[in-house]
């Protein structure tokens, strides 16, 4: 379905003058994004840094097609998001985007395998095929022997790897990770970041949101959000370490 984009090798994510205003026209008005221009090519590993309140989560929601901009344009793999309704955006997320959250967000009553397979139930894939692919995805994050365990029976790092397997299950082009290592100790965090690099090498586009410069340093490009504006990082990777 994305033949043209893949052939052209153009940017998978391209925003232009992206603005987002909450509670516009009221006293509580907040400008979260002030004209963000961003282009990320397929197979890139990008980190977006910034303190809390800088608008980086808003930007991630925008890139992840969970939200629509107040003004400006966003083309996700060539599709203009502003023109889509909630149903169409859900379809786009299903096909092209995988989310990894800081809090893992696994469903506690399901096994690791069922958690990984869950997004595919919305994609009209037979149950057998779903289970086969979920096993393969768990295998790729090194957790195949934990398939039947529930999230509560797994360590934080294992839970995050289950969440990553879930994000990858529909083979999305874009992997969005919001503070994926925030809840993990540094050694486990390193493992997760190594996994991201491997995914980048497998031609996934990885966008990492973090406030931790050490984590961001693993990316190919680093951007910084400040008061709703996006800037290339002023500090070269590793300078703060």
Partner 1 sequence: MNFVEVLRTALFALRGNWMRSALTSLGVIIGIAAVIVMVSVGQGTQAEIDKLVSGLGSNRLDISGGSGVGGGGVRLAAGSRYTLSVDDADAIRREIPEVQYVAASLRGGTQVVYAESNWSTQWQGVQPDWFDINEWKIATGQPFDAHDYSGASKSVILGDTVGQQLFGDQDPVGQTVRLGRVPFTVVATLKPKGQGGFGQDQDDVVVVPLETARRRLSGATALPPGAVQQISLGVGRAGDLSYAQDEVEALLRQRHRIQPGDDDDFSVRNIAEVVATRTQTTRLMSLLLGAVAGISLIVGGIGIMNIMLVSVTERIREIGLRMAVGAGPGDIRKQFLAEAMLISMIGGVIGILLGVVGALLVARFGSLPVALNGKVVALAAGFSIATGLFFGYYPARKASLLDPIEALRQQ
The yes or no reply on residue 70 touching partner 1 (CB under 8 A) is: no
Written as six digits, the tokens of 5 are: 């984009």
Do residues 66 and 98 make contact, with C-beta atoms less than 8 angstroms apart?
A: no
Nearer to partner 1, 58 or 217 (CB): 58
Work out the end-to-end distance of the chain between its first and last CA atoms, rounded to an integer number of angstroms: 43
Question: Min. distance of Cβ 92 from partner 1 in angstroms?
Answer: 8
Q: Which of residues 167-186 bind partner 1 (CB under 8 A)?
A: 167, 170
The yes or no reply on residue 94 touching partner 1 (CB under 8 A) is: yes
Q: Which of residues 22-61 bind partner 1 (CB under 8 A)?
A: 61
Question: Min. distance of Cβ 233 from partner 1 in angstroms?
Answer: 26
The yes or no reply on residue 90 touching partner 1 (CB under 8 A) is: yes
The yes or no reply on residue 131 touching partner 1 (CB under 8 A) is: no
Strands (E), the chain: 11-22, 30-41, 45-49, 71-76, 79-80, 97-100, 174-178, 205-209, 221-226, 229-232
Written as six digits, the tokens of 1 are: 């379905």
Residues with Cβ < 8 Å from 64, sequence gap 6 or more?
A: 93, 97, 99, 174, 176
- Footprint of partner 1 (CB under 8 A): 61, 64, 66-67, 86-87, 90-91, 93-95, 98-99, 101, 105, 107, 109, 118-119, 121-124, 127, 166-167, 170
């Amino acid at each position: 379905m994305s033949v043209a984009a893949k052939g052209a090798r153009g940017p998978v994510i391209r925003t232009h003058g992206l603005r987002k205003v909450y509670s516009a026209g009221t006293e509580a008005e907040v400008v979260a994004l002030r004209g963000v221009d961003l282009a990320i090519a397929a197979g890139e590993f990008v980190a977006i840094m910034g303190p809390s309140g800088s608008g980086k989560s808003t930007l991630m929601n925008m890139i992840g097609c969970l939200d629509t901009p107040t003004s400006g344009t966003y083309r996700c793999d060539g599709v203009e998001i502003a023109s889509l309704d909630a149903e169409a955006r859900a379809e786009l997320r299903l096909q092209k985007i995988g989310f990894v959250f800081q809090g893992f967000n696994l469903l506690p009553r399901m096994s690791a395998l069922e958690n990984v397979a869950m997004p595919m139930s919305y994609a009209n894939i037979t149950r057998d095929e779903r289970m086969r692919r979920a096993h393969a995805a768990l295998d790729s994050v090194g957790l195949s022997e934990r398939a039947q365990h529930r999230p509560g029976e797994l360590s934080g790092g294992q839970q995050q790897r289950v969440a990553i397997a879930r994000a990858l299950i529909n083979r999305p082009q874009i992997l969005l990770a919001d503070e994926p290592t925030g809840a993990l100790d540094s050694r486990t965090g390193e493992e997760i970041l190594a996994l991201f690099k491997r995914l980048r090498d497998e031609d996934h586009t990885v966008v990492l949101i973090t406030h931790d410069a050490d984590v961001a340093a693993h990316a190919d490009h680093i951007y910084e959000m400040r008061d709703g504006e996006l800037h290339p990082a002023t500090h070269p990777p590793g300078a703060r370490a």
